[in-house]
Amino acid sequence: MNKKLPVVAFVCVHNSCRSQMAEAISKIFAADVFEACSAGTEIKTKLDQDAVGLIKELYGVDMSETQKPKLLAELPKIDILVTMGCQVACPFVPCRYREDWGLDDPTGKGKEVFLQTADVIKQKVLDLKNRIENQSI
């Protein structure tokens, strides 16, 4: 019998950059431990093209083919909520565990900042995966 994986939702304001990168990176490195999704309190009409290009360059995954900006109301029932860095009031979303990664939005800041953000997200995803596997959250 397959055990249901916990659902982790990555949330930021526009659901076009950081949270989308976290969803994509999680699907690459942690799909065996948790189900990843993302959403925003507001949405843009499309994903940040710098984020799309970087994830494609780093991992060969085209987020624009598998992901789209979504509002919080479109999230499934979640177990773990990860906010990307709330410089505005973080929304209340029912979950059993919540943490904030405190990431600045790299939008418009150049490739090096995007690379740094993607690296931090990858490390945090791997840490989250480890904590879920070890049942420490």
The DSSP code for 122 is H
In 3D space, the residue among 32, 48, 22, 15 whose CA is nearest the CA of residue 101 turns out to be 22
Fold of 7-132: Rossmann fold (3.40.50)
CB 79 within 8 A of CB 7: yes
Q: Indicate which residues carry an active-site annotation.
A: 12, 86, 90
Cβ atoms within 10 Å, residue 32: 8
pLDDT of the residue at 89: 60
pLDDT of the residue at 2: 54
pLDDT of the residue at 76: 94
The tens-digit pLDDT sequence of the chain (137 residues) is 457 999 999 998 889 999 999 999 999 999 999 999 999 988 888 999 999 999 999 999 999 999 999 999 999 999 999 999 866 566 678 899 999 999 999 999 999 999 999 999 999 999 999 999 999 88
CB 51 within 8 A of CB 14: no
Q: Where are the domains of the chain?
A: 7-132
In 3D space, the residue among 8, 64, 69, 6 whose CA is nearest the CA of residue 41 turns out to be 69
**Residues in the chain, total:** 137
Dihedral sign for Cα 46, 47, 53, 57, please: negative
